[in-house]
């Protein structure tokens, strides 16, 4: 059931992407992919790294190999992906709650206070390790990560599984995403998509905010109600 606060309806469930919404692990992904690229004889720019955000590990590897004009067998690709992941996990060792993105903790805490159910919907197979380091593992009512999905965003699978875990319908969920593929996945799931980042990269979101520090659950409800009235 939706709840009423200040005359606006609060949708009862939020599903958060991890990298780019709660924590900036994109930089560590970049360091690890670039290290692999350098071993292969080229380098990738931070701009090129934008294409790697939100997509699965193997899809990201395909993009990296395409950037370097490199072809590899399935077996070689497995080895490269695992090498990159080992470096990435090594870089994550220093991660702690100081690496939370602005407003993320406060927004999640405010949502919990209102009784909103929260789930994680991330493509990362390292999501639980990361949440543990951020001391957020027990805060989520449901966690869907890259170990539980067979289809990558923009497929809606990750978010539909999240709604299932929270025992709510898709139309009752708001998804917070920093990647275009994630916005598309949320919309394909029949959920409300909120973009976190730059409006230019997040087409199709109902609303885009630079970070969660720019939003409270109450403000979000008001803005969504206004959009519905238009
Ligand atoms: P892993 P998200 C995504 O996390 C990252 O944005 C993306 O760059 C990465 O390739 C993907 O996770 C897989 O990560 O290698 O740790 O399994 O944005 O969906 O939370
Ligand atoms: Mg992301």
> What are the chain's domains?
3-24+99-229 (3.40.50.1000), 26-92 (1.10.150.240)
Does residue 19 have an active-site annotation? Answer: yes
Q: How many whole angstroms from 107 Cα to the centroid of ligand 2? A: 17
- Among the listed residues 191, 159, 190, the one whose alpha carbon sits nearest the alpha carbon of residue 174: 191
Q: What is the pLDDT along the chain (230 residues), one digit of tens a residue?
A: 445 444 455 679 999 999 999 999 999 999 999 999 999 999 999 889 988 988 899 999 999 999 999 999 999 999 999 999 999 999 999 999 999 999 999 999 999 999 999 999 999 999 999 999 999 999 999 999 999 999 989 999 999 999 999 999 999 999 999 999 999 999 999 999 999 998 887 999 999 999 999 999 999 999 998 888 77
84 within ligand 1 shell (Cβ under 6 A): no
Q: How many whole angstroms from 155 Cα to the centroid of ligand 1? A: 15
Among candidate residues 19, 62, 96, 178, the one labeled active-site is: 19
pLDDT at residue number 104:
98
For ligand 1, atom 12, name the residue with the nearest CA: 124
Residues near 51 by Cβ (< 8 Å), separated by ≥ 6?
63
pLDDT at residue number 54:
86
Largest CA distance in the chain: 59
- Among the listed residues 104, 92, 129, 124, the one whose alpha carbon sits nearest the alpha carbon of residue 19: 124
Rounded Cα distance between 180 and 161, Å, is: 19
Buried b (16+ CB within 10 A) or exposed e, 61-96: bebbbebeeeeeeeeeeeebbeebbebbeebbeebe
Report residue 10: phi and psi, to 5°.
Answer: -95, 120
């Amino acid at each position: 059931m939706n709840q009423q606060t200040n005359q606006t309806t609060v949708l009862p469930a939020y599903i958060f992407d991890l990298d780019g919404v709660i924590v900036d692990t994109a930089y560590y992904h970049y360091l690890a992919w670039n290290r692999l690229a350098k071993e292969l004889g080229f380098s990738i720019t931070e701009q090129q790294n934008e294409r790697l955000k939100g997509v699965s590990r193997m899809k990201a590897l395909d993009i990296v190999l395409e950037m370097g004009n490199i072809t590899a067998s399935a077996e070689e690709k497995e080895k490269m992906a695992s090498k990159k992941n080992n470096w990435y996990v090594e870089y994550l060792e220093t991660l702690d709650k100081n690496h939370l993105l602005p407003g993320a903790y406060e927004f999640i805490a405010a949502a919990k206070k209102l009784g909103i159910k929260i789930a994680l919907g991330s493509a990362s197979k390292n999501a639980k390790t990361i949440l543990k380091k951020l001391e957020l593992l027990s805060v989520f009512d449901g966690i869907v990560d890259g170990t539980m999905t067979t289809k990558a965003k923009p497929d809606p699978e990750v978010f539909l599984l999240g709604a299932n875990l929270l025992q709510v319908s898709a139309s009752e969920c708001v998804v917070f995403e920093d990647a275009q593929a994630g916005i598309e996945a949320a919309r394909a799931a029949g959920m409300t998509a909120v973009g976190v980042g730059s409006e230019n990269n997040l087409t199709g979101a109902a609303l885009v905010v630079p970070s969660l520090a720019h939003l409270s659950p109450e403000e979000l409800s008001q803005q969504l109600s206004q959009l519905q009235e238009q």
